[in-house]
Amino acid sequence: MQKFSPWKLLSSRTTYKNAWLAVREDSVITPTGSQGVYGVIESNDSVAVAALNDKNELYIHRIFRYPLQNWQWEVPGGGGDKEHAIQASKRELEEETGLKAEQWDILGVTGVCNGFMTEKMTTCLARGLSVVGDKEVSDEQTADGGFYSLEKIGAMIDSGEIQDGQTMTVLYLLQRWLEKNS
Amino acid sequence: MQKFSPWKLLSSRTTYKNAWLAVREDSVITPTGSQGVYGVIESNDSVAVAALNDKNELYIHRIFRYPLQNWQWEVPGGGGDKEHAIQASKRELEEETGLKAEQWDILGVTGVCNGFMTEKMTTCLARGLSVVGDKEVSDEQTADGGFYSLEKIGAMIDSGEIQDGQTMTVLYLLQRWLEKNS
């Protein structure tokens, strides 16, 4: 297997930046030898939380996703804000759901969209859940949160009610964990 | 459940554009009432191909992912180029692997990174496979392609050898299909 990069970098510039992401445009020689550009989206790494109750039900909620302009069923999560993944997951879980967990494990670290983005998502498993407070009022509008069986969630995916690919990545990792730990 | 958008759009401008993606910055009033910006990555919808042979083994290969600057194990796929998903999948599969399929099904349509991107990925199941030609020489450098059992692929995920979240989304959808169709 080739270990090296088949691309050559000529120069690099940041073409856009806001508080959450930057776009870097690299001038490159492509692997086939032509000159071109590669636009890379640089965003902070993120976390996704598989909050599992004693009945092996998973917490999902609807969140309004501005880029798609609609409400999406998802597991809790968000930007990592450069914290450790479990710290970030504790914060996101409590902010978005009012839940706290006794026990935390990391299920996997996965590229989100590796053709365009540098972002990696860490999936954290949260168990030993208790309600500690109200959800925080934030720009991430959430609704209809609750615990659902994995069978019900699978049926919601089959019907197209759940469409979030990142949540399916979490479900794949969670199912592997359950197969080995149940 | 709220059906409306909790965000108000004030104005919108394209801040970056190349052949594969554009970045749109919207000036908005956020759900909590403050003024801010939302940067949205607009890229074409994409396809991922679950190419399954008669032994229920899945085709995966390594592809050099420029944003991460490393080789990633993945299922074939790529930008949809505004074609129908199955047409795009046929093209991507043949270009990247030299394989052709007799039978095509759509397993699901999923948001890739719905906090930042508009992109939706359609997962297509390809069966009845035969080798039709050589892989095309392209900028998408691929290597080490072959058919692997789902157990082996699961073990490669456990060990961190496979890190691509989009491939795990495909695996989740494929496992659901296999449970219903085996």
Give the number of A-B residue pairs with CB atoms closer than 8 Å. 217
Provide the 10 A C-beta neighbour count for residue B147.
Answer: 17
User: SS3 of A47, please?
Assistant: strand
Using a CB-CB cut-off of 8 Å, the residues of chain B touching A117 are 67, 113, 116
Q: Does A10 contact B at CB distance below 8 Å?
A: no
> Which residues from A are below 8 Å from B33, CB to CB?
none
- Per the CB < 8 Å rule, is A67 touching B40? yes
**B30 contacts chain A (CB < 8 A):** yes
Question: How far separated are the first and last CA of chain B, in Å rounded?
Answer: 37
Stretches where chain B sits below pLDDT 70 are 1-3, 81, 136-137
Q: CA of A161: how far to CAs of A155, B79, B147, in Å?
A: 9, 24, 32
Residue A2 pLDDT grade (very low, low, confident, very high; cuts 50, 70, 90): low
Q: Is A5 on the interface with B (CB under 8 A)?
A: yes
CB of B47 within 8 A of CB of B85? Answer: yes
Q: Using the beta-carbon criterion (under 8 Å), do A171 and B172 form an inter-chain contact?
A: yes
Q: Is the pLDDT of residue A137 over 70?
A: no
**pLDDT (average), residues A113-130:** 97
Nearest of B66, B16, B68, B65 to residue B42 by alpha carbon: B16
pLDDT-based confidence at residue A136 (cuts at 50, 70, 90): low
Six token digits for residue B63: 């592809």
Average pLDDT, chain A: 93
Report the C-alpha dihedral over residues B137, B140, B146, B148, rounded to 10 degrees: -170
Chain A residue with CA closest to B159: the answer is A108
Chain B residue numbers with beta carbons less than 8 Å from the beta carbon of A168 are: 108, 110, 168-169, 172-173
pLDDT digits (tens, 9 = 90+) for A151-178: 999 999 999 999 999 999 999 999 999 9
CA distance A68 to B58: 31
Give the SS3 label for residue B178.
Answer: helix
Taking CA–CA distances from B9, the nearest residue in chain A reads: A66
Which pLDDT does position B137 carry in this prediction? 65
Cα A61 to Cα A93, A180, B57, distances in angstroms: 11, 27, 34
Distance CA B39, CA A112 (A): 17
Q: In the prediction, which pLDDT does A141 show?
A: 80
pLDDT of residue B5: 79
Q: What is the pLDDT of residue A79?
A: 86
User: What is the nearest CA distance from A125 to chain B, expressed in angstroms?
Assistant: 15
Residue where the block lists tokens 């940041």 = A14
Question: What residues does B98 pair with on adjacent strands?
Answer: none
Q: CA-nearest residue of chain A to B157?
A: A108
The verdict on pTM exceeding 0.80 is yes
Q: Give yes or no for B146 touching A (CB within 8 A).
A: no
